Amino acid sequence: MITRIIKFRIKEGFENQFNTLIKRFKDELISFDGLHHLDILREKEDKMSVFILMIFVNDAKLYSFRRSDLNKVVKNQLKNITTTEPLAWMVETIDNEDDKGND
């Protein structure tokens, strides 16, 4: 599984547009082939900072999403309501099962 985390900041006064954008595209995002999980999170202390957490079944599905029209449309819409370029990370789970009890 590959996790993609995207952080961005919503412009003051654009909260409603962001909520509308999420409602418009959430179902389509969730149903994207290879997307295992989707969370949209707000920073607790700063409600204008938002994270999108997406877990893909493999690298190929993530790259397919990154090249998709859906991603291009959502990204373009976000540009209009965010203050800066989003920050993005790709991370994968480290499975330490084999290390248990080897202290």
- The domain in which residue 34 lies consists of 2-93
pLDDT at 101: 52
| 12: CATH | 3.30.70.100
Residue 102 lies in a domain: no
Residue 99 lies in a domain: no
Residue 58 lies in a domain: yes
**Regions of the chain short of the pLDDT cut 50:** none
Residue 59 lies in a domain: yes
Residue 19 lies in a domain: yes
Residue 21 lies in a domain: yes
pLDDT at 85: 86
Residue 98 lies in a domain: no
7 close to 86: Cβ distance less than 8 angstroms: yes
45 close to 33: Cβ distance less than 8 angstroms: no
pLDDT at 100: 52
pLDDT at 39: 96
Please state, in angstroms and rounded to a whole number, the distance separating the CA atoms of residues 89 and 7.
Answer: 9
28 close to 70: Cβ distance less than 8 angstroms: yes
Residue 103 lies in a domain: no
Based on the structure, what is the number of domains in the chain? 1
pLDDT at 82: 94
pLDDT at 96: 58
